[in-house]
Amino acid sequence: MAEMTYRDALNLALKEEMRRDPSVFVLGEDVALYEGSFKVTRGLLAEFGEERVKDTPISENTIIGVSVGAAMGGLRPVAELMTVNFALLAMDQIVNHMGKIRSMFGGQTFLPMTIRMPGGGGSQLAAQHSQSLETYFMHCPGMHVLYPATPADAKGLLKSAIRDNNPVIFLEHELLYNSKGEVPDDPEFLVPIGRAEVKRPGDQVTIIAYARMTILALQAADELAGEGISCEVVDLRSLAPLDMETFLSSVRATGRVVVVEECWRTCGLGGEIASRIYDACFDVLQAPVKRVSGLDVPMPYSRKIEKICIPQVEDIKGAVRDVVSGRY
């Protein structure tokens, strides 16, 4: 095990998979000479050359369209979009091509491709560059959607995504790139797609979160432990497919649940999870499902106001106190 940043864990995953499989190549805007907007592709051009690390024009629909064709032709492209916000320019290729071709061809072709995209708010980048669009992709069948919270999961999930024969949306929160954690050195270390993980055991309330919200949930749980409140934190990691059994098992044990999501509340992932919990666990719930979500507003530029729009540790702690005390 070695301690490294989230960014370096992603970089290591790319290098290991490119060394293992010559059909893997990377493409995107500034991924080669500039080594990526967030330096995740650092060193790839020097090691693998221009044939496998390709700078592209500023055209997201072209990047994804080329990736779809390459995947159908037997390669394993890993496309980087500078930010998830720019994926809106490629939604036809993502939804109508990448997500549907395997089904429309009756399974006669595979699309082993991965789209890496940083996203999320908190960097004071204003309304058009601070969005959490994961539910856009979750709503479309035919693709996996992954969103790791820790460096170890970032490495293991990216490797699994590259090896998978299905198209994968791989999201990375911008504020996690510098976070550090222990990462296995084993080049065969994989985190299975579709498997959530209990990051912290507890017996009074379940906190379900993903991406950066998992980190905030763990901090909230640590602080609430000092108040005598025991929280179990479940990190979804994989949003599609969604591992229902792990979080339902936790809810059955605690009887109380708080769902934390950075995305907008309306049609957010938290509503879907709450619905599934009510369907499966209604008889054991000791309190209504509590949601902590981003506000339904375009993200403001002001740092102070931006902070109000995104769930914070105190918001999570307040929601947990409410469900434990009966203040609904």
- Tokens 């702690």 correspond to 317
Cβ neighbours for 39, distance < 8 A, ≥ 6 positions apart: 7, 11
Which residue stretches of the chain have pLDDT < 70?
A: none
**pLDDT at residue 138 in the model:** 97
Sheet holding 231-235, edge to edge: 197-200, 231-235, 205-209, 257-264, 290-294
**pLDDT at residue 152 in the model:** 98
Q: What's 297's DSSP letter? A: S
pLDDT single digits (tens) 265-321? 999 999 999 999 999 999 999 999 999 999 999 999 999 999 999 999 999 999 999
Task: State which residues form the domain around 74.
Answer: 2-183
Which residues are designated catalytic?
60, 129
CA distance 172 to 169: 10
- If asked whether residues 210 and 258 sit together in one domain, one would say yes
CA distance 61 to 268: 26
CATH number at residue 302: 3.40.50.920
**pLDDT at residue 326 in the model:** 84
- If asked whether residues 177 and 201 sit together in one domain, one would say no
For the entire predicted model, the pTM comes to 0.97
CA distance 229 to 223: 9
- If asked whether residues 158 and 246 sit together in one domain, one would say no
Residue 190 lies in a domain: no
Domain count, the chain: 2
Residue 54 lies in a domain: yes
- If asked whether residues 31 and 56 sit together in one domain, one would say yes
**pLDDT at residue 327 in the model:** 76
Q: Are 204 and 254 in contact (CB under 8 A)?
A: yes
Residue 192 lies in a domain: no
